[in-house]
Structures are given as structure tokens and as C-alpha cells.
Structure 1
Amino acid sequence: MAGRRTDTRERIQQVALELFAERGYDKTSLQEVADRLEITRPALYYHFRTKEAILASVIDRLGESIDELVGWAKEQPRTAEARLEILRRISGLMEDQWRPLFRFAQVNQGAMRGNPAGERLQNGVLSMLSLLSVPEAGAVEQFEARLAVFAVILGSVPFLFDMDLDESERAEVALRVASKLISGS
């Protein structure tokens, strides 16, 4: 039974993020989320009482995965291969679970501003930015390391690039660009 409850919560989160990105956070009602899921409002309320609760739960899940990534990355040696693996893992997480949330955040910047969930997302991104930095590196290399993380993240935002690429091709290009940024070539 717990598995079904988790699956339902994840479906609610996914559909809500889709609607928030399509219609905007402020213009989306819980009734619209329930309608898209083909469930009743009371069934939706069983899992989430408010849009804010849905968003907070999604951000919390993202934050946990960022924390796990950061913890793992801090245990790695500061080698070129480890830095590439960090980029690959960020890219993989974008593909698996982060893309809808980052799209939502891009479209709904106003809703994120001043929201505790928005602050949690911002802090998570900031903690990832430092993962590729080498302390003794110069300013240019530090900047490139941070840009590499953004390259991977922005590669998942389709409207930023007028290119005839599907999501996986765009993600691969973004990862290649990010790899070049941290390799200095």
C-alpha cells in the first residue's frame, strides 16, 4: 500500500510541475491538477493540501538528491576524471528527475522569489557550483568550473537554444561543452 501512495504522490508532483510550467504557478489550481490526474479533489488533498505543499515536496526531493551528490563529490579526489564524473552525474540527474523542476523554476521565477522552496533550490544550485572548482585555480578556471554546471543545467531548457535537437541530444551537447570548460580546451 505504501508503494501506491508514493507512486500517487510522485504522479501528483509530476503533473503539478507540468501544469505550473504550462499555465504558470499562480494560474494553476489544485482542481486543475486533480482533473489532469483524473482523481477527485479529496483524493488530491489526502496527499497535498496546497500547491505550496506540492512545490515544497518537489524541492525537498531535489534538495535531498543535491545533498547526496554534493556529499559524494566532496569525498572524491580533485582529479580531472572525478570532475568529469561529477558533471556526468549532474547531467544524469537532470535527465532523470531535475529537468521538470528547473523548467518550472525558469518559467515561474516570480513564484520562487521569497518562497522557502525557491531559497532551497537556489542554495542547492550554489552548493553544486563549487563542486568543480579547484581551490588553487585562477579566476578564469573558477569561472569556467561554475559555467560548466550551468551549461549542463541550461542544456535542459529547450527554448534557450534554437537548435533542431531532441532532449537527449541537447543534453549530450551541453555535457560536451561543460566538459570542455573544465578541461581547459
Structure 2
Amino acid sequence: MNISDVDATAEENSYNPIYEKLVESGDDINGMIAYALYKREKIEFIRGSLSKYGRPPNEAERESFHLSSNTDARLNAYRIQAGVIAREFLEISLEEKVKEIEDKWQEGYLQGQIGSDLKELKRFGPGVLQGVVSSWIFSFSVALVLLAAVVIRVGPGDVFNEVLRMIKNEPSKPEKQSQAFKEPRK
């Protein structure tokens, strides 16, 4: 004989209004949990009788259980225990939801931060290129100014001859070199 058979037989013999005492309406979750706690206790009572005596509880034992489980104190204990279970479930659910929201927020924040950093890097690359190009232009401009100063000081012909000699890789002539870079006339 299993527990559901014992429970069905007992229910045929008597009616226990504990469900109506614990559950106030169809959406009374706390009352439904309290009723489930009562049913768990009832199953433990039946199993205990089967284990200890090798038989289901008799009529007197069932009546004793029903009387003790239907007292105001016991009904209130079921409700309190159900409230604790519901509160713990809610806390766990809320903790999980808060963690999920925090994770999504963190992920979104990091994605935003990475996106912002990538935008900065995209602006950084052209800035570096601009800096390199402007450095080259400045260096070339300084070289042109120096070349212009030498051409003005020495004369275009001597500078042109010296550049040709360097291109041809000819050895420089001391007097020619000294003449090309001589002191200006006073």
C-alpha cells in the first residue's frame, strides 16, 4: 500500500477543511504554500506509521493528527513557515534579478566605454599622421630657408656647381670648396 492510497481512504471516511482554513483565495500563494507544508507533514506522519508499525495509521491516529494539525496555533505555524519560504524565494529571485540587471548594466557600460575608447583611437590615428606630416613639412621648410640663405650668401652658381660635384661624386677641390663657402665680402 502506498501513501496516496492511505490518504484517499482516509479522505473518503472524513472531510478535513484545512485547505479552506489556510488558503483564503485562488491567488493566495502564501496559503497554498502553507497547505503544501501541511500535506508534507501529513505524508511524514503516514510514512512514520508505516515505518514504525508496518501499517498505515488507524482511524484514531488519523483523528489525532487532524486535531493537532487544525489547531489555531498549528495553522498559524504553517502560515508563518509559508511566509518564510515565500520571503526566501522572493529574496533569491530578487538577488538573481538584481545580479542579472547589474551584469547587463556592466556589460552595456563596458561596451560603451570600449566604443568610446575605440572612437578616441580612431581620432588618435589621424592626429598622429597629421603630426608626422606637419613635422616633415616643417623640416622641409627649414631646409628650404637654409638653402635660400646659403644661395643668397654664396651665390647660386657656386651652390649649383657644388651640388653637381656632390652628385657626380667627385672629390672636392680645397680652393673651390673654400671659395664656395668663403666669408661674405665686407
Higher relative contact order (CA 8 A, sep 6+): 1
Instruction: Please confirm whether the aligned pair reaches a TM-score higher than 0.5, indicating the same fold.
Output: no
Bin for the TM-score computed over the shorter chain? under 0.3
Q: Which has the higher helix share?
A: 2
TM-score by length of 2: 0.22
TM-score by length of 1: 0.22
Higher-Rg structure is: 2
